[in-house]
Structure formats: C-alpha cells, structure tokens
C-alpha cells in the first residue's frame, strides 16, 4: 500500500489530495475510486484513507481510521559523512533512511576528494531531501530524515548528542571490538527508561580521517570504534552501523 507524507498536523474527515500526492497517486500509481493509501501527518500519526472521487484536476479521499504503528528506530541517529566520490551521498541517504536514520549531515572532510561548490549546495541538499522523502514513503516510515551540509567536521554542532561515535579504520586494524557493543548496551538501558538517546556517528571519506580531525574528536570525547575486521567502503560503513543498531536494539 502506498504511503504519503502531508505537511499538516491534522486533517478533516475528507481531504483534497495535495498536487504532488495527486500526481503520484493518480497519474503514476493509477489509484482510483475505492483505492486505499496511508497518509502520515507532521505529528507522525498515520491515517488510512480511501479515494472517493477522481477528476482530471483533483482527487478526494476520506478518512477510514487511524493506524497504530511503531516503525521508527528507538535511537535518534545522525549519520555524518565526509564527502565521497560519485553518487554515494544519494545511496547513503536512500539506504540509511530505509534503515532508520533520523538525520544526515554531509561535510567537507580534510581528506575528501569530492567537493561541493557553494553555489550548488542548496540544490544538492534539496535533491537529497527528496531522496529521503521517497525512501521514507517506500519503507513506511513515519518520519522523514533531514539533510544538511557543513563546511567541515568542526562546524557540526555537537551539543545535544548523548553519544558521539566515529567509525575509525585504525581501530578496526588494531582489533578493537568492544566499543560499539558497549555503546549500544548503554543506549538500550536508556530506551528502557523511556528515553530516546541521540547518537552522532561520523564516517570519513575514501581517503580516511585526518590526524587533525582525529585530534578534534578525541578532545570532544568521541568513541573510536572498529566495525569488524574488514575495511568497508565509505558508503557501506553507515549502513553497517544502522543494521547493527537495529539488530541489537530492536531484535535483540
């Protein structure tokens, strides 16, 4: 069943579909009278809707009932990635959204080969935000992850995060195995106490993390964690982390 997000905190029993939803639901997916779809409000409430009228200009739907759903990762995870080559940012946002990330930050790492021209940043963020929206609808999330860009690692605001982690290649090479597990165990305890912990996870580019960036994170008490004995690509490591968190916290 199709799921759409609407920029409203409440809806009436009957709704005229917004233009973008109308186009996708009626023109692309060919929904028709009596077709049902799910609508997610800004409050993350989910409504089951039924189409009652379709014309060339608009479509109307009525509320059938509210759906109780619990699909969000119990941890608010911010994935912060240094810029990587090619279209890896889109891949990270799409798959990371499916795996439960709440926010994505891309930044110019000191060893990043890729660069974003300042005049194109807004358009790139807009494009990635659309990728996040589509992925959230496809994976039946109740929340659309946000996307932002920072000029450097040091310009990322660190306050507000309960946990700060960096996936560090040297830690993996040295056989570090316990830091990620210890972090997840601590978060699980907080979730049990009815709190949603906030985690910031940093990932470097293909060239790795610079000594100056390492020093900065050490001073700001980041947890340096290895993600297993194998060295992962820049776009793989964030997905590994999200999968591990889901397994331990949601399925463990």
pLDDT at 42: 95
pLDDT at 239: 97
pLDDT at 170: 81
Clarify whether residues 36 and 81 are in a common domain: no
Contacts of 34 (CB under 8 A, 6+ apart): 50, 51
* Sign of the dihedral defined by the CA atoms of residues 108, 112, 114, 117, in that order: positive
Clarify whether residues 60 and 81 are in a common domain: no
Beta strand pairing call for 3-5 and 36-40: parallel
CA distance linking residue 163 with residue 237, whole number of Å: 18
CA distance linking residue 49 with residue 133, whole number of Å: 19
Clarify whether residues 33 and 155 are in a common domain: no
pLDDT at 69: 87
Low-confidence ranges of the chain (pLDDT < 50): none
Residue (of 122, 109, 116) closest to 152 by Cα position: 109
Clarify whether residues 242 and 164 are in a common domain: yes
Q: Which domain holds residue 42?
A: 3-67
Write down which residue in 19, 40, 67 finishes a domain. 67
């Amino acid at each position: 069943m199709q799921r759409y997000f609407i920029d409203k905190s409440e809806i009436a029993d009957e709704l005229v579909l917004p233009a973008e939803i109308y186009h996708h639901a009626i023109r692309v997916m060919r929904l028709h009278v009596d077709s049902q779809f799910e609508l997610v409000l800004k409050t993350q409430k989910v409504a089951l809707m039924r189409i009652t009228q379709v014309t060339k200009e608009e479509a109307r739907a009525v509320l059938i009932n509210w759906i109780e759903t619990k699909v969000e990762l119990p941890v608010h995870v911010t994935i912060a990635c240094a810029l990587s080559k090619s279209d890896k940012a889109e891949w990270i946002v799409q798959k990371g959204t499916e795996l439960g990330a709440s926010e994505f930050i891309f930044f110019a790492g000191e060893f990043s080969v890729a660069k974003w021209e300042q005049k194109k940043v807004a358009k790139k963020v807009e494009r990635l935000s659309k990728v996040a929206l589509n992925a959230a609808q496809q994976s039946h999330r109740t929340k659309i992850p946000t996307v932002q860009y920072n000029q450097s690692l040091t310009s990322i605001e660190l306050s507000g995060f309960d946990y700060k982690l960096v996936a560090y290649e040297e830690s993996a090479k040295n056989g570090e195995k316990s830091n990620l597990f210890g972090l997840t165990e601590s978060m699980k305890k907080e979730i049990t106490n009815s709190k949603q912990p906030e985690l910031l996870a940093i990932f470097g580019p293909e060239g790795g993390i610079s000594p100056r960036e390492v020093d900065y994170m050490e001073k700001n008490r980041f947890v340096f964690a290895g993600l297993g004995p194998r060295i992962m690509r820049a776009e793989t490591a964030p997905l590994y982390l999200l999968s591990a968190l889901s397994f331990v916290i949601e399925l463990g």
